[in-house]
């Protein structure tokens, strides 16, 4: 009887053939993301929107290149890893950071993806929300999907790109906000999700809101925290990973602190204000910083007690894809001062909550990014920068042909920003 080759044997044979002409040398494994890349929404596991990268222009921006593709949606926050830009949601497009060359070898995700590296794979893993579809309910359509992990490189064809999904079938994730679903967070050997989930088996369907940590390589659940309110799942926001802890806010206005290693809940803190979407939270050196619609709040890392609370005029609305920027001892917040399209870009002391400065700008899209003492943001069809020390404007430059530019991403080579069907790279002095 003829023995049929196994799939593993075929893959091994293919690898041997591929390396036979080069002395059997297997390419090096991908390196973990560096501090000067932008591998996850918010730039780092904490979601601080602060980077030590040096590629952004400081006073005389120059357009290095533009890359065009119809599949790129405006106003997205890109991620940057390994010399590639992933222009966020709903596109398979990837762009080379050095030249702006475009390929369509990526995977289209419904959320901003995150890049992680595990010991079990040579190539990096890209994780994002995928396969969302509408399920009709008595209250209208409910969108269901799953977080899917894929090989960052299509080296072995589309079938072998898939690595794992969470929850396993037939479980699902229900995004709180379909326009801007909660993005996964890659933190070393684990990936974290906040949101609301449905986990099914042959006998029951359990719904819960919460936070889940899975193994980067296998997708195996390491720990999870479930939250319901009278049986209804309570949506959670983006987890913030800082100094061995996970901080995350819920739609009920509660902020949680968990141990990253095992998921033990260390503390909870209830916010007094009316919170209508999962509270934005950032773990930072001076405090765990969170924001309600009308106040900025600093919490103690150890027990979650309130260190300070600073009310502000106007309103903060995370539904506008804006978040908190924290770095160099300060907190920066885009506040709607009341009506119109203006934004009050405001700075606060991260240790005391004391207001440091406030400037009103005509247009501010997305979240400001802090780099080398400047705050960068999309300003309609251009990019603007303000001095982090006092809020004074450093520059504003029109980007030819751009519209609805969003949150930039920065590495050591350039600042990258996404418009309608286009990615732009800005450099200069």
Answer yes or no: is pLDDT of 6 > 80.
no
Q: Quick check: pTM over 0.85?
A: yes
Torsion of CA 191, 111, 250, 246, to 10 degrees: 20
Residue range 247-265, pLDDT digits in tens: 999 988 999 999 999 999 9
The verdict on residue 371 lying in a domain is yes
Question: How many C-beta neighbours within 10 Å does residue 62 have?
Answer: 12
Tell me if 8 is assigned to some domain.
Answer: no
pLDDT of 404 > 80? The answer is no
* pLDDT at position 403: 72
Tokens 């801007």, residue located: 180
d(CA 330, CA 347): 7
Give the torsion through C-alpha atoms of 413, 32, 374, 289, to 10 deg. 160
158 DSSP 8-state letter: G
Answer whether residue 96 is part of any domain. Answer: yes
Residue 68 domain boundaries = 31-428
Least confident of 80-84, 100-104, 128-132, 240-244: 128-132
Q: Is residue 292 in a domain?
A: yes
Residue 208 covered by a domain? yes
- Looking only at the bridges linking them, the beta strands covering 409-410 and 415-419 are antiparallel
* Backbone φ and ψ of 318, nearest 5°: -65, -15
Within a domain: 11 = no
Structural domain includes residue 3: no
Q: What is the pLDDT of residue 134?
A: 64
Sheet of strand 355-361, all strands in order from the earlier edge strand to the far edge:
325-327, 330-335, 343-349, 355-361
More confident residue, 138 or 230: 230
Which pLDDT value is given to residue 173? 85
347 assigned to some structural domain: yes
pLDDT at 19 over 50: no
Give the residue with greater pLDDT, 365 vs 269.
269
State how many domains the chain has.
Answer: 1
Which pLDDT score, from 0 to 100, does residue 340 have? 72
Whether 237 shows a pLDDT value over 70: the answer reads yes
By the 8 A CB rule, do 281 and 245 touch? no
Q: Could you write out the DSSP letters of every residue in 72-86?
A: PPTT---EEETTEEE
Q: φ and ψ at 18, to 5 degrees?
A: -70, -30
CA distance 379 to 366: 9
Residue 356 pLDDT exceeds 90: yes
Cα three-residue angle 338-342-344, rounded to 5 degrees:
80
- pLDDT band of residue 136 (cuts 50, 70, 90) is low
Dump pLDDT digits (tens) for 143-175.
788 999 999 987 655 455 889 999 888 888 877
Quick one: 287 exposed, middle or buried, by C-beta within 10 A (0-12, 13-18, 19+)? buried
| Nearest to 290, CA basis, from 304, 278, 280 | 280
The CATH number of the domain where 157 resides is what? 2.140.10.10
Query: Quick check: 74 and 87 in contact, CB under 8 A?
Result: no
């Amino acid at each position: 009887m003829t023995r049929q080759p196994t799939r593993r044997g075929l893959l091994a044979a293919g690898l041997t053939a591929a390396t036979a002409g080069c002395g059997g040398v297997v390419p090096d494994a991908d390196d973990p993301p560096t501090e000067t890349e932008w591998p996850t929404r918010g730039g780092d596991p904490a979601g601080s929107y602060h980077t030590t990268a040096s590629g952004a222009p400081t006073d005389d921006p120059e357009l290095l290149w533009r890359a065009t593709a119809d599949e790129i949606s405006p106003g997205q926050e890109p991620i940057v890893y390994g010399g590639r830009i992933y222009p966020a949601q709903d596109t398979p497009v990837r762009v080379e950071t050095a030249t702006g060359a475009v390929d369509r070898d990526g995977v289209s995700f419904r959320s901003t993806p995150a890049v992680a590296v595990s010991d079990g794979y040579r190539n990096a893993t890209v994780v994002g929300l995928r396969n969302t579809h509408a399920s009709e309910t008595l209250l209208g359509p409910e969108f269901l999907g799953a977080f899917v992990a894929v090989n960052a490189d299509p080296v072995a064809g589309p079938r072998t790109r898939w690595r794992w999904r969470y929850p396993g079938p037939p479980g699902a994730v229900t995004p709180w906000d379909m326009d801007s679903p909660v993005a996964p967070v890659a933190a070393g050997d684990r990936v974290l999700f906040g949101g609301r989930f449905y986990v099914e088996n042959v006998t029951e369907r359990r719904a819960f809101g919460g936070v889940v940590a899975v193994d980067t390589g296998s997708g195996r659940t390491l720990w999870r925290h479930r939250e319901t309110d009278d049986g209804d799942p309570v949506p959670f926001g983006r987890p913030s990973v800082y100094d061995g802890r996970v901080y995350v806010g819920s739609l009920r206005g509660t902020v949680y602190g968990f141990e990253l290693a095992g998921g033990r809940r260390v503390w909870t803190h209830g916010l007094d204000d009316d919170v209508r979407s999962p509270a934005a939270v950032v773990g930072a050196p001076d405090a765990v910083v969170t924001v309600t619609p009308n106040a900025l709040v600093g919490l103690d890392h150890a027990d979650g007690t309130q260190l300070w609370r600073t009310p502000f005029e106007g309103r903060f609305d995370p539904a506008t894809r804006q978040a908190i920027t924290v770095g160099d001892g300060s907190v920066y917040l885009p506040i709607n001062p009341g009506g119109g399209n203006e934004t009050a870009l405001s700075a606060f002391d991260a240790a005391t909550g004391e207001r440091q400065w406030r400037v009103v700008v005509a247009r501010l899209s997305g979240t400001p990014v802090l780099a080398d003492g400047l705050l960068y943001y999309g300003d309609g069809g251009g990019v603007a920068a303000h001095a982090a020390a006092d809020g004074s404007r450093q520059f504003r430059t029109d980007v030819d042909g751009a519209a609805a530019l969003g949150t930039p991403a920065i590495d050591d080579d350039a600042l990258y920003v996404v418009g309608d069907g286009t990615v732009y790279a800005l450099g200069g002095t």
